[in-house]
Amino acid sequence: MSAAAKNGRHCSVLITGGAGFVGVNLAAHLLANGERVRILDSLTRAGSERNIAWLQRNHAQRVDFIEADVRDPQALSKAMDSIEHVVHLAAQVAVTTSLVNPTYDFDVNAFGTLNVLEAVRRAPCAPSLIFTSTNKVYGGLEDLRVRLNGQRYVPMVSRVRAHGIDESRALDFHSPYGCSKGAAEQYVLDYSRSYGLRTAVFRMSCIYGPHQHGNEDQGWVAHIVRKALAGEPITIYGDGKQVRDVLFVDDLVDAFDRTRLDIDRLSGRAFNIGGGPGNTVSLLELIQQLREQLGRPIELRFDAWRVGDQRYYVSDTGRFQALTGWRARTQVAQGVEALCDWLTTSEAHPAPRRATAMSLHGIGAPG
């Protein structure tokens, strides 16, 4: 029996990786609305210790924290006690790390997800599960013809230009990271089909917002903003004209809410989740916005394109919108300003850096 259960504390939502950027925002939202939350996190990412400490300070009576890894089946089994819903965020999140250490990437993303699914399946009352995948399951999109338009690439196909890429796009796992996340999401979908679990998959584009301690390989919006605020040079892989749709974390939390509350109808499906055509930005456009906002120059350095980097990826979220009524509400300028405000405050107490198995380099607009 968990500590929470011994104390009569019923935790309705388990968030794996809940001390990370997305997890802490989701947990804070749920806790502010009176729900009890359990977080399972290994605290290996920079900033995660600070995030969990912030949650515990503000919601000490309703948050239950377990320091554990999703590669530990016993810890996961115990964490499922009294849980009604699981949001599975825990992951190895960088393409570059997957290329350096594909075995570790597979263990965390694919095997770790299978452990989570098995813990859900074996729970006395199986909770629902939402899994966060990535647009990298669509591969490098080399066949998507694009042209230059100012500081960005735009698709030649008018439908993609107007709506983005939808879920009918063929899967093409690219890089060990794409393979591990792609394999994991297919297990999540199949456990709905084979075992009757209530599961859904979010193929996410670029999420950003407060509590994001981004680096060159993941969380690139926060990384660029942090570098700009510090007056430091920014290294970009490629030409900087690659385009992504960016989604403010509050809008993602809304998508989680709608899915969790309607999981019986949405189960067994994968959804593209991002800012959509209304919230697109190239790296150069974001940097120009920051130059204007901060009123000072930003030094850029360029390096070669990276493996699997897409020149253009924008989510068509029409399937999810039609089923739930959800839409992205936070515009890019508004969201970046909110991120700047948070980073300006938080950098007075910078997150500790943990050692990693690789050195980090520039920005290539990861998914």
Longest dimension (CA), the chain: 61
**Among residues 104, 138, 153, 177, which one is catalytic?**
177
Q: At what angle do helices 283-294 and 220-230 cross, to 10 degrees?
A: 30
Kindly list the distances between the CA atom of residue 60 and the CA atoms of 4, 17, 55, in Å, as whole numbers in the listed order: 12, 18, 7
CB 95 within 8 A of CB 175: yes
CB 193 within 8 A of CB 204: no
Structure tokens at 256: 């989680």
Residues 6+ apart with CB under 8 A from 122: 77
Q: Is 177 a catalytic residue?
A: yes
* φ, ψ of residue 237 in degrees (nearest 5): -85, 140
CA distance 126 to 67: 22
* φ, ψ of residue 5 in degrees (nearest 5): -65, -40
Structure tokens at 302: 């360029």
For 287: left if phi > 0, alpha if psi spans -120 to 50, otherwise beta; the answer is alpha
* φ, ψ of residue 187 in degrees (nearest 5): -65, -45
CA distance 320 to 301: 38
Torsion sign over Cα 116, 117, 119, 123: positive
- Amino acid letter, 333: A
CB 212 within 8 A of CB 339: yes
Residue numbers annotated as active site = 177
